Amino acid sequence: MLNISNIQHFSVGDGEGIRTTVFLKGCNLRCPWCHNPENLGKEPVTLHYSSTGKSETLGRLVSADDVLPELLEDKDFYDESKGGVTFSGGEAMLQVSELASLARLLKENNVSVLVDTAGCVSYSAFEALDPFVDGYLFDFKTADAEKYRDIGGDLTLVSENISSLIRDGKNIRIRIPLIPDFNTDRQSIEDICKHLCAIGIKEVDLLPFHRLGSAKYEAMGLKYAYKAISPLSKNELTEIENIFKKYFSVKTEG
């Protein structure tokens, strides 16, 4: 059974074309800026929104056969826009066995499948999914090993997985969240660029920090560590983009 929180139709930021994004619960990282805190744990969570007085409980177990019909509802849109289904989280790769079963069914129905991952898993998880997915949206947080440890990750493991995916000819898109006070100073950006270049990356997507998930923290009764942190200014973002463009072909989301 897959442990999911939400299915979002008509997503346009999770890969090419019109997509349906399936959010899976459970994550092995603890990024303080995370905008999907409802997916950090495996248990269902109830969000109480004080502004509207409404509540919602997120988290349910579904089989691949149960969820497949809903994912196929928009197949005409996938076909027309070269879109498909994206699995996100949380960390979708933590549910690799169940995920592979659903990805196989989608492949049998000629639906493109992408997986959004932070890559802090064994490479065997990628190998289990590879036959059924078209590619990976791979978040890379920092080239600083200590900072990766601080959020529960492993720079060496992440780097080895990226290298292995490239070696095996897999479609991989590196996405870099730009987080103030974490990885947006010039030295951090230069280190990221040099690290990824050494691995063989040619293109990156930049994901500027936003506070769109802050309401979820309040609804869950949690403190949001980045509540007082401002998004990058236009000038700051331009300066960062210019550094990345010295090394890569760059696309900035948002």
Quickly name the fold that domain 2-252 has.
Answer: TIM Barrel (3.20.20)
Neighbours of 140 (CB within 10 A): 23
Average pLDDT per block of 10 residues along the chain, 254 residues long: 96 91 98 96 96 93 97 97 97 97 98 98 98 98 98 98 97 97 97 97 96 92 93 97 97 88
- H/E stretch holding 164 reads helix 155-167
The CA distances from residue 23 to 3, 31, 85, 92, 171, in Å, are 9, 17, 11, 8, 21
Q: What is the pLDDT of residue 254?
A: 73
Residue spans per domain, the chain: 2-252
> What are the counts of helices (DSSP H) followed by strands (DSSP E) for the chain?
9, 11
Amino acid at position 63, single letter? S
Report helix, strand or coil for 89. coil
